[in-house]
Amino acid sequence: MPRRTDLRHVLVIGSGPIVIGQACEFDYSGTQACRVLKAEGLQVSLVNSNPATIMTDPEFADYTYVEPITAASWNALSPNKPSVATRSTRCWPLWAGRPR
């Protein structure tokens, strides 16, 4: 599959709050996603509501936002509009954009 040249900036949506003892696989997959995307030369933004995760370490993303994982909080990204968004794990970011 050829690499898409129109994608330059990726938003990685973190797993958010977790149950103690069940975080390592969520953090691992998210940090690996960030590392691979940066290695491919893409700019990476990360949104995660959990500041105590390894994902928020400065080496993994160009821009890190510790914000609630909601559509409204993503407006903070306006100066750094990503080309595409991807979630790292868990199902709850799937409904994060819906109003409550």
Q: What is the pLDDT of residue 93?
A: 46
H helix or E strand, kind and range, residue 22: none
Residues 6+ apart with CB under 8 A from 53: 14, 15, 23, 27, 30
Does the global pTM surpass 0.85? no
* Residue 20 banded pLDDT, cuts 50, 70, 90: low
- Can you list the alpha helix ranges (DSSP code H) found in 4-63? 24-39
SS3 percent helix, strand, coil of the chain, rounded to 5, is 30, 15, 50
Cα–Cα distance measured from residue 94 to residue 47, given in angstroms and rounded to the nearest whole number: 14
Secondary-structure class of domain 9-95 per CATH: alpha beta
Tell me the per-residue pLDDT of 57-99, one tens digit each, with 9 for 90 and over: 888 999 988 888 777 776 666 566 776 666 665 544 444 444 4
